[in-house]
Structure 1
Amino acid sequence: MRRFIGRQHELGVLRGVLDQVRAAMGAGGAPGQCVLIRGRRRVGKSSLVEEFLRQAEVPAVFYTAAGQSAEQELAELVEAVAGSTLPGGELFVEEAPGQWNAAFRLLAEVLPDDAPSVVVMDEVPYLMNRVDAFEGMLQRAWDRQLSRKPVLLLLIGSDLSMMEALNDYARPFHQRGREMVVGPLNPADIADMLGLPPAAAFDAALVTGGLPLICREWGAGQGMWDFLRTSLESPVSALLVSAERSLAAEFPPQAMGREVLRAIGSGERTFTNIARAAGGIAHTTLSRATELLIEKGVVAAELPVSMRPSKERRYRVADPYLRFWLAFVEPHMAEIERMRGDLTLERIRERWTAWRGRAVEPLVREALARLLPDGDLPAAPVIGGYWTRGNDVEIDLVGADREPVAKRLLFLGSIKWLERSPFDAHDLAALHRHRAALTDDPVPLVAVSRSGVKCQGLTATYGPDELVAAWRRPG
């Protein structure tokens, strides 16, 4: 069994909150603590909490909602508590609470008074949807009973907007819990988990999106093309099925959001082109669909960063794995299902370099945001890009003091992510031309290259090793 990799920061946060519960015992007041954990589906939230419980070794119950009726969900909670390590959990079977209010009161009774415990409620948005007044009942139970016990309550959910709403000012549970966002495994975690060098770890991050379920099917030290070949040959591989399952849970098949997402995933980035690719839908319909996708964190909408306002908004699929799946897998699922994944693999080979060159940009920007300041460049509150309507000027990296309209540009840079072509004098000359189109100031120039730099005149240069190291920095 592969060991648990990464998430040390998140585990440390949870251990710290449990320590606060432990320290507050006997000190008066309410020792209970609550954490709201959110993140996209299949990103490993539940596995993180399972690992935390394994390390914590305290009495705990882990309950997962399943989108059933309120009565069925309550029955599942009773069964989970009865089979948990909470002392007195068998009382749930004997008492058989028939209402959620009664279940919360009984849960508080079985929680120990003299030792910390943990209560986990997974897929909370299902309960918010199916159980009438769930948030109000939870708030009352927390204020009156649960928080008075030395308990850590973990509320987990994959619907990002609903989990954010749970802590909203106008909602009953406002400010009862602190928030934790669980993202995908980062390139450093992936390098450690799969035994890959930094450049290959970035490729793996773009294919798997850092989703643990997919990474677990990637053999240690295995090359990307071998992994893709194996995954495309199996109709039940995580690479093939994870995206469809996630989308089915968030968007019904008839939802226009699916068509819009498919258009963006195919490579369309502007509003007009997305509307055309989605079948010529009306702009009002497209606006609603894109707003939903952005609200759910599936799509990112970005403006160019410069010292002048711009309306040239561009859209991209925020999750690298979903972006890969929409571009290469979903359009050709029929041929994969008839065991011709070899055709799909060749199609990926043909388009991989060009697709990767743009797909890696958000990861590079995040790495630089983590890496800076260093000896060459200052910290940048914003690291984005710049483009014009006709794409005659495109700058991959724009470090600035704010976005989208900056008061000060801190650096400009180019990303060249090719195996056998280093950043050279021709690339530097192009970067100089694009800087001149954006500003007259001698803003520092930066190059990020997969295979090195062969020119002078840059303020800073970065490669895969430095970028992966950004995720290994403490804090």
Structure 2
Amino acid sequence: MVDFVGRRDELATLERELRKVASGVGGERSGRCVMLRGRRRVGKSRLVERFAENSGVPFLFYAAVGASAEDDLTRLARDAQASNLPLAHLLTSAQPQNWDAAFDVLAAALPDDQPSVLVVDEVPYLMDDDGAFEGMLQRAWDRALETKPVLLILIGSDLSMMEALNSYGRPFHQRGREMVLGPLNPAEVGRMLDLEPAEAFDAALVTGGLPLICVDWPRGAGLWDFLEEALNDPVSPLLVSAERSLAAEFPPKAQPRNVLSAIGSGERSFTNIARAAGGIAATSLQRSLEVLVDKRIVAVDLPLSTRPSKERRYRVVDSYLRFWLHLVGPYIGEIERGRGDLTLARIRANWTSWRGRAVEPLIREALARLLPDDALPEAPAVGGYWTRNNSVEIDIVGADRAPVAKELRFVGSVKWLERSPFDQHDLVALHRHRAALTDEPVPVLAVSRSGVDCSGLDAAYGPADLLGAWQA
């Protein structure tokens, strides 16, 4: 089905884990655990549902709601009743009052003579500050669940909390295999939507590779056709997905939410973010940034060079959320009044400048995947370089490590315009900025949406070349 383009590897991983469980039926400890994390609306629950439905074994899919313990346990009994576990009725009749008791009943409900799948979705909703739930989960796994032929799948959208679940010193440490589900990559988006390479990058930037939004994009449709339709539909996934994700992370007036909006508006430096967030105090801003970085919503970039630098730049990691915060979210009111045409006109006016900055992280990731090749060496670190006043900016810097490199491998420039190739003027500017970064004659490269119209480059890449980074 279209919503599972690009998920073959993840399905195969879960199937392998279930086969290992099946091969251990009758053994002393045949249970296995997978801890699946990924940002909200990336398709984690649907992936696991699809896997469980196709597995051919009994399964229970439980989704925590983040309410009281009583409500969560009531929901567990209800989900058990809807499952196909042969002894699921035990949960309904036992009515456990805490998770210790619930895990005991769950273990009793799992079959001994055949494999089964037990899914707990949104585990971070159940985790508490004192680690009580993690302790109960660890005891239940060690004493009962691991002795059953069960594949336990723990799912969570709070990336930092899911990482903590398996970290050293925590009760559940090393009891499960970690698995990360990312968004669809540009090649998968292009294949799903039947788009040419350049258009596939546009779609990846606007949708963030979120399957829910990609499914709403008509196959073969261009960016502007999609946006015109989406902006005239107040319940379009393009409009509502970001707000729902943010509401799940932050209360509407929470300070980190205001800081995120400032970064999404295009501000990247600490000072400018503070100003855009309404003159927030430095200590408050620092705390908010720490929350956003800890949740993997915001990334901190440093200039990549052989010299240390404190010139931090902040960016929203998810390109869809970045697009929404800058060009859609502030104008939801006019869209709801039926004036999506005004929002579309504003996006058209800002598209070239927004896209030019937004595509850079994708290009750096593609180069890191592609290299080495016939023209350029391997670069374990691919980043950018800038000075405090931005008098020198280099879009691409390849090096042996980051953020302070021992050796620079190459420098490059990105020119991502429809009808303007990389030309001699761009090459001269790149050489000038390279001289400000290093005295070494490191290779120079160009990444251009519309080709190259000059000589003197060591390498050049276009949209099709970059898309190959995810197709190998």
The alignment's TM-score, normalised by the length of structure 2, stands at: 0.97
- Which stretch shifts more, 116-125 or 4-13? 4-13
Structure 2: runs of 5 or more not aligned: none
Q: Show the 5 A alignment for 1:120-131.
A: 120-129=119-128
Structure 1: runs of 5 or more not aligned: none
Name the structure 2 match of 1:7: 7
Query: How far, CA to CA, are the matches of 2:403 and 2:130 in structure 1?
Result: 41
Note if contact 1:82-1:91 (Cα within 8 Å) is conserved in structure 2: no
How many Å apart are 1:66 and its aligned residue?
0.9
* Distance 1:92-1:131 versus aligned 2 partners, 3 A rule: farther
Write out per-residue CA displacement over residues 357-376 of structure 1, whole angstroms, 9 at most, x where no aligned residue. 00000011111111112222
Name the structure 2 match of 1:361: 360
Name the structure 2 match of 1:42: 41
Write out per-residue CA displacement over residues 221-269 of structure 1, whole angstroms, 9 at most, x where no aligned residue. 1111111111111111111111111111111112111111111111111
Q: Show the 5 A alignment for 1:216-231.
A: 216-231=215-230
Note if contact 1:70-1:130 (Cα within 8 Å) is conserved in structure 2: no
Structure 1 stretches of at least 4 aligned residues deviating more than 3 Å after TM superposition: 129-132
Is structure 2 residue 196 aligned with structure 1 residue 200? no
Query: How far, CA to CA, are the matches of 1:93 and 1:343 in structure 2?
Result: 54
Name the structure 2 match of 1:138: 137
Q: Show the 5 A alignment for 1:88-103.
A: 88-103=87-102
Name the structure 2 match of 1:18: 18
Is structure 2 residue 282 aligned with structure 1 residue 283? yes
Q: Show the 5 A alignment for 1:337-356.
A: 337-356=336-355
Partner secondary structure for residue 349 of structure 2: helix
How many Å apart are 1:132 and its aligned residue?
8.0
Q: 1:20 is matched by which residue type in structure 2?
A: K
Query: How far, CA to CA, are the matches of 2:292 and 2:95 in structure 1?
Result: 41
- Which stretch shifts more, 360-369 or 132-141? 132-141
Query: How far, CA to CA, are the matches of 1:394 and 1:130 in structure 2?
Result: 43
Name the structure 2 match of 1:191: 190
Query: How far, CA to CA, are the matches of 1:362 and 1:213 in structure 2?
Result: 22
Q: 2:12 is matched by which residue type in structure 1?
A: G
How many Å apart are 1:130 and its aligned residue?
9.8
Partner secondary structure for residue 382 of structure 2: strand
Note if contact 2:409-2:443 (Cα within 8 Å) is conserved in structure 1: yes
Note if contact 2:31-2:146 (Cα within 8 Å) is conserved in structure 1: yes
Q: 2:315 is matched by which residue type in structure 1?
A: R
- Which stretch shifts more, 162-171 or 242-251? 162-171
Is structure 2 residue 282 aligned with structure 1 residue 295? no
Query: How far, CA to CA, are the matches of 2:35 and 2:456 in structure 1?
Result: 48
Note if contact 1:372-1:380 (Cα within 8 Å) is conserved in structure 2: yes
Query: How far, CA to CA, are the matches of 2:86 and 2:413 in structure 1?
Result: 59
Is structure 2 residue 108 aligned with structure 1 residue 109? yes
Note if contact 2:3-2:215 (Cα within 8 Å) is conserved in structure 1: no
Q: 1:376 is matched by which residue type in structure 2?
A: A
Query: How far, CA to CA, are the matches of 1:411 and 1:118 in structure 2?
Result: 49
Note if contact 1:79-1:93 (Cα within 8 Å) is conserved in structure 2: yes
Note if contact 1:21-1:150 (Cα within 8 Å) is conserved in structure 2: yes
Q: 1:97 is matched by which residue type in structure 2?
A: P
Query: How far, CA to CA, are the matches of 1:451 and 1:48 in structure 2?
Result: 37
How many Å apart are 1:14 and its aligned residue?
1.5
Query: How far, CA to CA, are the matches of 1:24 and 1:407 in structure 2?
Result: 49
- Which stretch shifts more, 128-137 or 269-278? 128-137
Q: 2:24 is matched by which residue type in structure 1?
A: A
Note if contact 1:299-1:315 (Cα within 8 Å) is conserved in structure 2: yes
- Which stretch shifts more, 287-296 or 98-107? 98-107
Query: How far, CA to CA, are the matches of 1:393 and 1:368 in structure 2?
Result: 22
* Distance 1:131-1:287 versus aligned 2 partners, 3 A rule: closer
How many Å apart are 1:131 and its aligned residue?
11
Q: 1:6 is matched by which residue type in structure 2?
A: G
Query: How far, CA to CA, are the matches of 2:43 and 2:444 in structure 1?
Result: 38
Partner secondary structure for residue 128 of structure 1: coil
Q: 1:365 is matched by which residue type in structure 2?
A: R
Q: 1:100 is matched by which residue type in structure 2?
A: W
State, as a whole percentage, how many aligned pairs show the same letter: 67
How many Å apart are 1:12 and its aligned residue?
2.0
Q: How many pairs are equivalent?
A: 472
Partner secondary structure for residue 70 of structure 2: helix
Is structure 2 residue 305 aligned with structure 1 residue 306? yes
How many Å apart are 1:176 and its aligned residue?
1.1
Name the structure 2 match of 1:432: 431
Note if contact 2:3-2:211 (Cα within 8 Å) is conserved in structure 1: no
**RMSD of Structure 2 on Structure 1 (CA):** 1.5
How many Å apart are 1:170 and its aligned residue?
2.4
Name the structure 2 match of 1:469: 468
Note if contact 2:60-2:83 (Cα within 8 Å) is conserved in structure 1: yes
Q: 1:80 is matched by which residue type in structure 2?
A: D
Query: How far, CA to CA, are the matches of 2:226 and 2:40 in structure 1?
Result: 22
Note if contact 1:70-1:131 (Cα within 8 Å) is conserved in structure 2: no
- Which stretch shifts more, 98-107 or 175-184? 98-107
- Which stretch shifts more, 392-401 or 7-16? 7-16
Partner secondary structure for residue 456 of structure 1: coil
Query: How far, CA to CA, are the matches of 2:372 and 2:176 in structure 1?
Result: 33
Note if contact 2:69-2:98 (Cα within 8 Å) is conserved in structure 1: no
Name the structure 2 match of 1:56: 55
* Distance 1:228-1:97 versus aligned 2 partners, 3 A rule: same
Note if contact 2:21-2:115 (Cα within 8 Å) is conserved in structure 1: yes
Q: 2:19 is matched by which residue type in structure 1?
A: D
